[in-house]
Amino acid sequence: MSKPVILITGALTGIGRGTAFAFAKIGARLVVSGRRPAEGKALEVELQRLGAEAVFIEADVRHDDEVRGEGLTKSAALEVASTGVRVNAVAPGPTDTGMLDRFTGTPENKTALIAGVPLGRIGKPDDIANAVLFLAADASSFVTGQIVTVDGGKTAG
């Protein structure tokens, strides 16, 4: 069986970008997508330099027609149809990204959010990427149908 294709949407920034680099470092086959073609092509080159087979496809997952069109569906489905698929999800908690900065709005709000995380810090994109890598690895081959929360203990309380 050939190496599976890893599809990462929103790969140009934050958690998606961190996850793309984590998979590239282990030589994965990647299809990365995002809304900005120039940045996407630059990411494709960076991932290839790390040893990944990588291709960028411009797509905005907020628009169904872009997901169902020529790009994502055909590229991601190359091998999925012929293999058994384990489906898991990662539910990230507060992660240090531009999106979190926009959500909190001010440094004071961000500090207050951090105070509510039992580990005393917000996550880094690599923290989330490591959980995704685990779920994709053979080490988790008996894990399926799970939502893995990676939030520094925030939901545990």
Could you tell me what percent of the chain has a pLDDT over 70?
87
pLDDT in tens, 27-41: 999 989 999 999 999
Mean pLDDT, range 114-127, rounded to an integer: 96
Domain 86-157: give its CATH superfamily: NAD(P)-binding Rossmann-like Domain (3.40.50.720)
Check if CATH label 3.40.50.720 holds for domain 1-85: yes
pLDDT in tens, 39-69: 999 999 999 999 999 999 898 888 777 766 5
The average confidence (pLDDT) of the chain is: 87
pLDDT in the model for residue 80: 44
Q: Domain locations in the chain?
A: 1-85, 86-157
Q: Is pLDDT larger for residue 151 or for residue 9?
A: 151
pTM: 0.82
Q: What is the DSSP string of 26-77?
A: TT-EEEEEES-HHHHHHHHHHHHHTT-EEEEEE--TTSHHHHHSTTHHHHHH
The C-alpha angle with vertex 87 and arms to 78 and 129, in degrees rounded to 5, equals 90
